[in-house]
Amino acid sequence: MLDAYLRPLIDPPLNRMGQKCARAGINANSVTVVGFAFGMGAAVAIASGAWLLGFVLIAMNRFADGLDGAVARATKKTDLGGYLDITLDFFFYGAIPLAFAIQAPDANALPAAVLLCSFYANGSAFLAFAIMAERRCLSTSRQGKKSLYYLGGLAEGTETILLFLLMALFPTWFPLLAWGFALVCFVSATARLLIGVKSL
């Protein structure tokens, strides 16, 4: 929901950094992979109870996720880059709730499972529509220029980043935050499903 409003604010500085990286010979896929390593490090840190380190690594992962697109725009966007970006993002989104479940299974396992189910529903509605949109040559730049059609919803990248950062800052709040965000994701998935049905 917030992505479209934040893009005009964060894209200009990211694009400048992306141009500098491109001139230095850094390619977008390398940034994506390094960001993924930060994300997996965050999951390990959280599973170990190292909350502050997890918080920092989540932030670094999300920064890299924005920067890789800026580097791609400064050089050349590729199908491989778009594929790596979305796939590794989903690995990261699944790893963080799992890490909380590992860290405190008695308190966190069930809310983590429900949150992951909601991510699955939201992601499938999003990606399935992207496939059909590609077939119909539909496009949008409302959430910034993407490698695939980005169908907006209540729960998008910005909201998920804020959720994960809050969870790392206040780990005892994980069950409440997970249940609440799962509800938002299920509503978002339903809305995306209805929009997809109407559009197709």
Task: Give the CATH number for residue 194.
Answer: 1.20.120.1760
pLDDT, residue 149, reads 45
Residue pLDDT, tens place only, 132-177: 777 766 655 444 454 444 445 556 778 899 999 999 999 999 999 9
> Which tokens sit at 89?
């993002």
pLDDT, residue 135, reads 74
Whole-number Å distance between alpha carbons of 160 and 39: 13
Q: Which residue segment(s) compose the domain that 79 sits in?
A: 3-199
For residue 96, the number of C-alpha atoms closer than 13 Å in the C-beta half-sphere is 33
| Residue predicted with more confidence, 29 or 159 | 29
> Which tokens sit at 177?
């935050």
pTM score, two decimals?
Answer: 0.84
Q: What's the whole-number average pLDDT of the chain?
A: 86
For residue 88, pLDDT over 90 is answered with yes
Q: Count how many domains the chain has.
A: 1
Residue pLDDT, tens place only, 37-79: 999 999 999 999 999 999 999 999 999 998 998 899 888 888 8
Residue pLDDT, tens place only, 14-23: 888 889 998 9
Burial (CB < 10 A; 0-12, 13-18, 19+), residue 35, is buried
Whole-number Å distance between alpha carbons of 192 and 163: 20
Whole-number Å distance between alpha carbons of 156 and 19: 26
pLDDT, residue 138, reads 60
